[in-house]
Amino acid sequence: MLQIITLIFLTIGEFVGHGDATDHFITRCLKHEREALLDFKDGLEDPDQNPRLLTWKGSYAENPDDSDHDDDDEGLDSSERYAFWILSEEIRPSLTKLKSLKHLDLSCNTFNDISIPIFYGSKLQNLQYLNLSNAGFSGPIPPNLGNLSSLRYLDLSSNTFDSKVPNWLANVSSLVTIDLSNNLLHGRIPLSLADLPNLEILSLNSNGILIRASTSQLLRGRWEKIQGVIPSSIGKLYNLKFFLVGSNSLTGNLPESLEVSRNYVSSRPLTSLQHLDISSNELSGRLPEWLGQLENLIELTLYNNLLYGPILNSLHLLQNLEQLDLGWNRLNGTLPKSIGQLSELSVLRVDSNNLTGVVTEKHFLKHTKLKILDISFNSFKLDVASNWVPPFQTRFIGMSSCYLNSSFPGWLQSQKKIKLLAFSNSSIFGSVPSWFWEISPGLESFNFSFNQLNGQLPSSFKVKGTFAGSIPENISAALPKLKILSLVENQIKGKIPASIGNMQSILVIDLSGNNLTGTIPPSIGNCSQLRALDLSENNLSGN
């Protein structure tokens, strides 16, 4: 009997039996299977009249080997063959007649808040892959999905599912991937998930967030999120690579220790873990020592919690670590110099904590791949040599509220790929050197507010003369992509140049608290993207 292998609604119509289907669709369905597919199609509404559904014909083959190639598909290019769908209406139970169906993908459709059909869990026993993400389903997740004993991949993300995190997930021991992110799930993370021997990806990010809520859901005020604590039993998930539970309401401390399985060779927990994201929860307590033992970790994101205590010195042992984000917590103590040994690091964020101490070149010693650096809003003192050349080329540097106590930092001259700079309230004094205007043609935002910058704002623009104490007349030509111009509370003099009206990407202009004179140029009205303008506390005149 013909084995129906796959039904994917990004490539609908590929019902392949035996033979080569690289250039043509081979429609080798038996009669009852073809009838089931046509009935299933009749329940769908396709507002775009996509050719992919139009190729489904009513004829069938009693013998699969008698089927011919379907030539209606020859005119479709690759973008049409794999386009997203906007199917809606009903899911007819005729789908259950495809007894051998293993792969079902109904993602990225608009099923208008209908529930997941109950028959999925009772009839499709051979299903290995089920993707219903971003498809407009709602209501509870039916518990009989737990009967899909062969299921390996389950993606129900980005719908308005409104129920507790299902306990029945632990009944499907074959599961490798579980993605329930971006829903309205609540309750606790089931302890029984630790019994799934093959689980590699567990994503519960951003639940309780109303992405596409109905009126009734808004009136009920359903803003519950996944609650409770991180169970120590997750340590038994030796195959787990992704543990993503950000943007929920998890509380308590991170477990001081994790459980390990007696049936596993390694005595260490979470030996395969690569991505750990517990950001934007309500976790408190200290960073546990086991974080420094996750030798395969690539991402550690604990951003926006209530964690306190020191940063672990043992984090330098995580030699595969690419992203370290500990920002917006209550961490104290110093930044360990050993952080500089993480040669793969591309993101380092410890901003908005209670950290103190001196930051030196040793903290960045091997950071040749660093793209994002943010140590803002702590009590750091930056102490680097005047001729220091950083090993990195970053896109973003944040050192606001750090104590530099120096003239304009010369080491910025080496940064040729910079897009965003944040150095407000950093005890910088003196004039802005001419090279600053040429360090990166892609510079989009720089904030040097609340410093003591004075004298001239020079540039190496191809114009004659200097611009002592003023904003260069052709600033728009030099910084065409600039989105935020903030020079608050400095000693900038002169007029606002009329060419500022040519900055078509500018979103924010804040020149308040300076010594600017003259009138406000009418050309600012040409800045069509402008959202905020502050010219207060200057010596401007006119209308």
**Residue 248 corresponds to which tokens in the numbers above?**
């929920």
In this prediction, residue 209 carries a pLDDT of: 47
- How far apart are the C-alpha atoms of 180 and 496, rounded to whole Å? 52
* 532 phi/psi in degrees, rounded to 5: -145, 135
The DSSP 8-state label assigned to residue 40 in this structure reads: H
Under 8 Å between Cβ of 36 and 132: no
pTM across the whole model: 0.77
* 199 phi/psi in degrees, rounded to 5: -65, 125
In this prediction, residue 68 carries a pLDDT of: 38
* 354 phi/psi in degrees, rounded to 5: -115, 35
Buried b (16+ CB within 10 A) or exposed e, 331-346: beebbbbbbbbbebbb
Under 8 Å between Cβ of 245 and 275: no
Q: Residues in the chain with pLDDT < 70?
A: 1-29, 46-89, 208-224, 263-266, 454-469
In this prediction, residue 292 carries a pLDDT of: 96
**Residue 347 corresponds to which tokens in the numbers above?**
């993101």
- How far apart are the C-alpha atoms of 124 and 52, rounded to whole Å? 24
For 341-385, strand residue ranges (E) read 347-349, 354-359, 372-374, 379-382
Each domain of the chain, given as residue ranges in start order, spans: 428-461+468-542
Under 8 Å between Cβ of 34 and 60: yes
In this prediction, residue 264 carries a pLDDT of: 65
Sheet holding 539-540, edge to edge: 493-494, 515-518, 539-540
**Residue 496 corresponds to which tokens in the numbers above?**
């606002």
* DSSP per-residue letters across 83-117: -----EE---GGGGG-TT--EEE--S---TTPPPP
Under 8 Å between Cβ of 64 and 2: yes
* 147 phi/psi in degrees, rounded to 5: -85, -5
Under 8 Å between Cβ of 487 and 510: yes
In this prediction, residue 46 carries a pLDDT of: 67
- Residues recorded for the chain: 543
**Residue 394 corresponds to which tokens in the numbers above?**
């970053």
**Cα angle: 473, vertex 479, 481; to 5 degrees:** 135
- How far apart are the C-alpha atoms of 315 and 318, rounded to whole Å? 6
Sheet holding 452-453, edge to edge: 406-407, 428-430, 452-453
- How far apart are the C-alpha atoms of 471 and 458, rounded to whole Å? 8
Reduced to 3 states (helix: H, G, I; strand: E, B; else coil), residue 357 is strand
In this prediction, residue 397 carries a pLDDT of: 97
In this prediction, residue 10 carries a pLDDT of: 34
Task: Identify any residues that bridge with 456 across adjacent strands, giving them in sequence order.
Answer: none
Under 8 Å between Cβ of 186 and 205: no
- How far apart are the C-alpha atoms of 178 and 181, rounded to whole Å? 9
In this prediction, residue 283 carries a pLDDT of: 95
- How far apart are the C-alpha atoms of 256 and 288, rounded to whole Å? 5
In this prediction, residue 387 carries a pLDDT of: 93
- How far apart are the C-alpha atoms of 243 and 271, rounded to whole Å? 13
**Residue 245 corresponds to which tokens in the numbers above?**
């539970």
Q: What are the angstrom distances between the C-alpha of 4 and each of 20, 29, 100, 105, 120?
A: 15, 8, 5, 14, 16
Name, in order, each residue with C-beta under 8 angstroms of 20's C-beta and a sequence gap of 6 or more: 26
Under 8 Å between Cβ of 297 and 325: no
CATH assignment of 428-461+468-542, given 3.30.70.270, 3.80.10.10, 3.50.50.60, 3.40.640.10?
3.80.10.10
Buried b (16+ CB within 10 A) or exposed e, 186-218: bbebbeebbbbeebbbbbbbbbbeeeebeeebe
- How far apart are the C-alpha atoms of 451 and 513, rounded to whole Å? 11
